[in-house]
């Protein structure tokens, strides 16, 4: 039996370290000799930047603290493996490094792009008769991985969004004695509106939730938007609007591109979007004339481990644990999935699925869950998302501020 190596990749989440904790624990429970970490994912691994994790986890306290630490403990990367054909050198180098550390089990915690890494490596291993096992552990606040019911990281981001949205609505409605007060909240999500949809969870017996919710799944119509806002201003003093950063016009133009801010393109060719909220705020100022605030949740929605969901922490831990076990049972070229057996009371189990159906495929919010001419989401969405934000974990706090585990 060889060793295990674990990598973390892509945008961090509040619970990506819980998956790492689960995988480490499974390796230890099953008598794996050495547990290694890739420093900054596959990019670091290619430079032989490997961490001996045994020195960090000699008792359970460190694992429990790791579950409470935001961001990627091992360091992350946004590195896309090249196509195999014509780049065999890169792959040979990687497999030589695996031999150097006697690695039999290769676990990669990530989203869409990271699952592509698992696909390429397992394809190469199959082509060249290599014995290493490659398993993907799902992770993304965007919740856009197919096959799995949802992805670890999404529940905690949703809990942050719902909680903070409710606090913002409360704050926004505290004024409003004279003219309407508006607030546009910009939430992450390039092509899939899962995160923005979660803002509807602020709709509680003691809160009406946001007034309008715009997802990238439906074309954004500026004229209809202004009409809606105008009508709301006639009947309400406090108006809060949730939008995805990636909302776009019918012709595919991103709303954020209507502003002045330059957009940045990352290594995967994804544009880093921001500014859609500001564009809508300016639109309201020019065409309706009321003061409007723009709030961008920015990376707070993916790193607010202080507000992580217990369901999410547990599931993230479990997919890590189950992923390590699956590799040890001989599975390869697959990703661990979450299967929800019952929504109420919530019962979930874990499955495994061929990576070829998953890598590079995006799952969007079903159109039938988007209501009110594309300005809200349905109760079916609530039933889906609600169990994922339940519960919390006690904090390890020192001096009023949560403690983290660091390399």
Q: Is the dihedral of CA 97, 93, 330, 23 positive or negative?
A: positive
**307 lines the binding site for its own copies (CB under 8 A):** yes
SS3 state at 147 = coil
Burial label, 185 (beta-carbon count in 10 A; 0-12, 13-18, 19+): buried
Interface region with its own copies, contact rule CB under 8 A, candidates 107-115, 244-252, 358-366, 398-406: 398-406
Could you confirm whether 312 is annotated as catalytic? Answer: no
Among 302, 326, 335, 338, binds its own copies (CB under 8 A): 302
**260 lines the binding site for its own copies (CB under 8 A):** yes
Residue 333 Cβ vs its own copies, minimum distance, rounded to whole Å: 26
Interface region with its own copies, contact rule CB under 8 A, candidates 36-44, 101-109, 328-336, 366-374: 36-44
**Which residue number, 186 or 217, has a Cβ lying nearer to its own copies?**
186
**191 lines the binding site for its own copies (CB under 8 A):** no
CA 113 from centroid of its chain's CA atoms: 12
Burial label, 131 (beta-carbon count in 10 A; 0-12, 13-18, 19+): exposed
Residue 345 tokens, joined: 């009371």
Report d(CA 210, CA 201) in Å as an integer: 9
Q: Is the dihedral of CA 56, 303, 19, 93 positive or negative?
A: negative
Of 113, 116, 142, 144, the catalytic one is 142
Residue 105 Cβ vs its own copies, minimum distance, rounded to whole Å: 23
Which residues 6+ apart lie within 8 Å of 121 measured at CB?
A: 81, 91, 94, 106, 132, 134
Among 28, 34, 236, 306, binds its own copies (CB under 8 A): 306
Report d(CA 137, CA 6) in Å as an integer: 10
Map the footprint of its own copies across residues 136-175, applying CB under 8 A: 159, 162-164, 166-168, 170-175
**404 lines the binding site for its own copies (CB under 8 A):** yes
Among 50, 135, 202, 365, binds its own copies (CB under 8 A): 202
Among residues 253, 232, 235, the alpha carbon closest in space to that of 183 is found at 232
**201 lines the binding site for its own copies (CB under 8 A):** yes
Site mask for its own copies (CB under 8 A), range 54-93, x = bound: ---------------xxxx--xxxx---------------
Cβ-contact 335, 147 below 8 angstroms: yes
Contacts with its own copies by CB under 8 A: the residue count is: 66
Residue 400 tokens, joined: 């009023």
**12 lines the binding site for its own copies (CB under 8 A):** yes
> Interface with its own copies by CB under 8 A: which residues?
8, 12, 40, 43-44, 69-72, 75-78, 159, 162-164, 166-168, 170-177, 201-202, 204-207, 260, 264, 291, 293, 295-296, 298-300, 302-307, 309, 386, 389-392, 395, 397-406
Q: Which residues are catalytic?
A: 142
């Amino acid at each position: 039996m060889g060793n295990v190596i674990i990598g973390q990749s892509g945008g961090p989440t509040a619970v990506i370290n819980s998956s790492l904790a689960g995988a480490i624990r499974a390796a230890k429970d099953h008598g794996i000799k050495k547990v290694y970490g890739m420093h900054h994912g596959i990019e670091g691994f290619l430079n032989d930047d490997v961490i001996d994790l045994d020195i960090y986890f000699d008792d359970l306290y460190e694992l429990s603290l790791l579950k409470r630490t935001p961001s990627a403990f091992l360091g992350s990367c946004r590195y896309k493996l090249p196509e195999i054909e014509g780049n065999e050198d890169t792959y040979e180098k990687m497999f030589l490094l695996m031999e150097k550390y006697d690695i039999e089990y290769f676990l990669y915690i990530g989203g869409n792009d990271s699952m592509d890494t698992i696909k390429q490596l397992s394809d190469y291993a199959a082509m060249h008769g290599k014995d290493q096992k490659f398993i993907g552990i799902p992770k993304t606040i965007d919740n856009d991985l197919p096959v799995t019911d949802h992805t670890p990281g999404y529940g905690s981001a949703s809990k942050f969004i719902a909680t903070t949205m409710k606090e913002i609505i409360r704050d926004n409605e505290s004024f409003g004695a004279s003219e309407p007060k508006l607030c546009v909240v910009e939430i992450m999500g390039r092509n899939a509106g899962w995160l923005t949809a979660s803002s509807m969870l602020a709709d509680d017996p003691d809160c009406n939730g946001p007034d309008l919710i715009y997802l990238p799944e439906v074309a954004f119509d500026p004229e209809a938007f202004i009409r809606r806002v105008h009508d709301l201003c006639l009947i309400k003093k406090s108006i809060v609007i949730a939008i995805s950063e990636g909302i776009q016009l019918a012709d595919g133009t991103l709303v954020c591109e209507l502003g002045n801010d330059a957009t940045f393109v990352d290594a995967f060719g994804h544009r880093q979007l921001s500014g859609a909220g500001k564009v809508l705020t300016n639109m309201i100022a020019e065409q309706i004339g009321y003061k409007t605030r723009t709030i961008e949740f920015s990376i707070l929605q993916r790193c607010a481990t202080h507000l992580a969901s217990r369901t999410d922490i547990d599931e993230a831990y479990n997919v890590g644990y189950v992923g390590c076990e699956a590799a040890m049972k001989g599975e390869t070229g697959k990703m661990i999935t979450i299967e929800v057996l019952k929504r109420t009371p919530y019962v979930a189990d874990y499955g495994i699925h061929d990576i070829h159906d998953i890598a590079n495929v995006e799952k969007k919010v079903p159109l039938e869950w988007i209501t009110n001419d594309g300005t809200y989401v349905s109760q079916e969405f609530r039933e889906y998302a609600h169990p994922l934000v339940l519960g919390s974990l006690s904090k390890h706090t020192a001096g009023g501020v949560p403690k983290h585990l660091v390399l």
